[in-house]
Amino acid sequence: MSEEFDLAWLDLREPFDAFARSEALAAALLARLPARPRLIDLGAGTGSLLRWLAPRIGRAQAWTLVDSSPAMAEAAFDTIADRADLMGFPVTAPNRRTLLVHAPGGAWRIEALVADLAESPANLPLQAADAVLSSALCDLVSRAWLERMAAALRIPFYAALCVDGREVFAPPHPADARVAAGFRRDQGRDKGFAGTALGPRAPAVIAEVFSARGFAVDAAPSDWVVRARGPVRHPTLRDGAGRFLTELVLGHAEAAGRRDRRGDARIEAWMDSRLDQVAGRRLSARIGHRDVLALPPRR
């Protein structure tokens, strides 16, 4: 798998991810889990999905964090342990591959699996899992990858934060459409999953592929809403908004530039204008995502 993300970006986006994910869809997932659920988290990064979902499960649970990077797996253990300490939960490490968070409702057993996600699900311990989860992954994968996953699963599949193509930067700019078109084209390049990445088609393709296998599929919006001033849901979102908006602008300009050489001057002007607006706390953005939950027929 070639598409990787740096630790600083994952840390910056975590609070925005946390406030974006659908509580209702997560509750529907939790309702289908057994007393001590065993969860596989694909593309786990530093463990942000675990940090969001584990307290909502609120009882003993086991997680397998799957990532292609050994450094990311190590960072996940460190970050999870640090956050647990801040919450007052003792942490022990029986071995180098296992972390135990001793939460009040029961221990969270966390193991790391370094594996090439492009080869999944063949390299996953599905026989010892009650659900397969991911966050911000399925817009990177190919349709063939999803079809293999759907064919292999008889357990819930939860895909949070899939981009859906709805993007609005405010105030408007004359080059918004050009940047958006270039960015969407770049989302479709092969991200290391042996085929065209789904990009904003991911929510619809997940629904189509899993429905064809008899799964009941539901989805809910999980948009990033980023603003440096005005009403915000939490001070953390306001405090990180400037840096987050800067990364969004730079990322969009870079991706659009890769796919639109003739429009480089306009894309650069768009970037400069947007960065000035970030500095003046005049820019806001809504980046559309959807959470998708596929539930197998009850046995």
- Domain harbouring 212, CATH code: 3.40.50.150
Distance, CA of 261 to CA of 83 (rounded, Å) = 44
User: Is 186 part of a structural domain of the chain?
Assistant: no
Q: What is the pLDDT along the chain (299 residues), one digit of tens a residue?
A: 344 568 899 999 999 999 999 999 999 999 999 999 999 999 999 999 999 999 999 999 999 999 999 999 899 999 999 999 999 999 999 888 899 999 999 999 999 999 999 999 999 999 999 999 999 999 999 999 999 999 999 999 999 999 999 999 999 999 999 999 999 999 999 999 989 999 999 999 999 999 999 999 999 999 999 987 766 666 777 778 999 999 999 999 999 988 666 667 899 999 999 999 999 999 999 999 999 999 999 87
As given in the structure block, the two tokens for residue 245 are 């908006």
Distance CA 65, CA 88 (A): 22
- For the full predicted model, state whether its pTM sits above 0.85: yes
Q: Is residue 276 part of a domain?
A: no
**Cβ proximity of 39 and 64 under 8 Å:** yes
Residue 240 covered by a domain:
no
State how far the Cα of 144 lies from the Cα of 281, in Å rounded to an integer: 43
Name the residue with tokens 């190590």.
74
Q: Report residue 184: phi and psi, to 5°.
A: -65, -40
Contact 177, 168 (CB under 8 A): no
What pLDDT does 238 receive? 75
**pLDDT given at position 241:** 92
pLDDT, position 1:
38
Q: Torsion angle, CA of 116/154/57/17, rounded to 10 degrees?
A: 50
- The pLDDT score that the predictor gives to residue 194 is 85
Number of H helices, E strands in the chain: 9, 10
Q: Residue 96 falls within a domain, yes or no? A: yes
pLDDT of residue 232: 60
What whole-number distance in Å separates Cα of residue 258 and Cα of residue 256? Answer: 5
Asked if the structure places residue 274 within a domain, the reply is no
Residue 127 burial class via C-beta count within 10 angstroms: exposed 0-12, middle 13-18, buried 19 and up: exposed
Provide the pLDDT for residue 3: 47
Residue 204 lies in a domain: yes
Q: Which amino acid is at 68?
A: S
Q: How many domains does the chain have?
A: 1
Is 63 inside a domain boundary? yes
What is the C-alpha to C-alpha distance for residues 233 and 204, in angstroms, rounded to an integer? 29
Q: What is the pLDDT of residue 236?
A: 73
Token pair recorded at residue 225: 């809403």
What per-residue confidence (pLDDT) applies to 6?
Answer: 83
Structural domain harbouring 14 = 7-163+197-225+290-295
Helix, strand or coil for residue 94? strand
Taken as a whole, the chain contains a residue count of 299
Tell me whether residue 179 is in a domain: no
